[in-house]
Structure 1
Amino acid sequence: MASLLQRSLTDLGVLTARPIAFLALGVYIAAWLIFDRESFDMHGGAALAAWLMTLFIQRAAHRDTQAIQAKLDELLRAHSDARTDLRDLDSEEPEDIERHRERQRPANVSIPKNQKR
C-alpha cells in the first residue's frame, strides 16, 4: 500500500509539471466563474494565484531536473569507467534513491577542522 502511495505521489508530481496541469487549472477557473461567480472574491483570486505560482515553480523545477539528468546521462555515456547500473536510478522513488545514497556513503567521512567547506 505504501509503495502504491509513493508511486502515485511521484506520478502526480510529474503530471503537475506538464502543460495539462495549466489546462486543468483553466478549466477549474472557468467552471468556478460559470457556476458560482458570486463566491469568486479576493480570497478566491489569491488562492488561484497561489495555485498558478505552484504550477510555475513545479514546471521550472521539473525542467531543471530533466536538464541535469540529461547532462549526467551524457557524462555516463562519455566516461568508459562509469557504472552503468546508476543510469536508471532516476526512475526510482525518492526514498529508494535516498537509501541508495546512504549505502554508497563512506562510513567514516570527516572534514579536518583546519579545512574549510
Structure 2
Amino acid sequence: MTQKKQSLFTRMAMAVAKAAGRPATFAAAAGIVVIWAASGPVFGFGDTWQLVINTGTTIVTFLMVFLIQNTQNRDTEAMQIKLDELIYAMKGANAALLDLEELDEKSLDVIRRHYLNRAAEAREKVGDTGLPGQEADHVDR
C-alpha cells in the first residue's frame, strides 16, 4: 500500500504535539513563567506586565486545543481501524460491531446494555465478579 503524503497541517500538528509532550518543553514553559514573574518588580507589576502573560498563554492554549484535537482524532481513527481489523479477523466475532463509532448515541446505548447484560450473566454463572482465577472466559454463549 502506498502511503499518501501528509498535509502540511498534519505534519505540523504531529511535530508540535510531539514537541509539546517533551520534558524540555515543559521546562521551557516553566522558565518563561519564572522569568515573567521575576520581571514583575522591574515593570512595577503593571497592567502591561500582566497582559503579556495573559495574552501569551491564551494564544498558546487556543492554538493547542486545535492541534491536540487533530492528534486525538487521528489516533482514535487509527485505533478504530485496528479494532475493526481484529473483529473482522476473529472467527466467530460479531461483524455487526464493525464501525460502531458511526452509530448514533441511542443505538450505542442499546448495544451497550446488551453487553452489560451478557457480562452480568457471565458473572452469575461463575458465582463471583469474574476476577482472575475464575472461569468467566469459558461461559457458554
| Normalised TM-score (structure 2) | 0.43
Select the structure of larger CA radius of gyration.
2
| Normalised TM-score (structure 1) | 0.50
Q: Which has the higher contact order (CA 8 A, sep 6+)?
A: 1
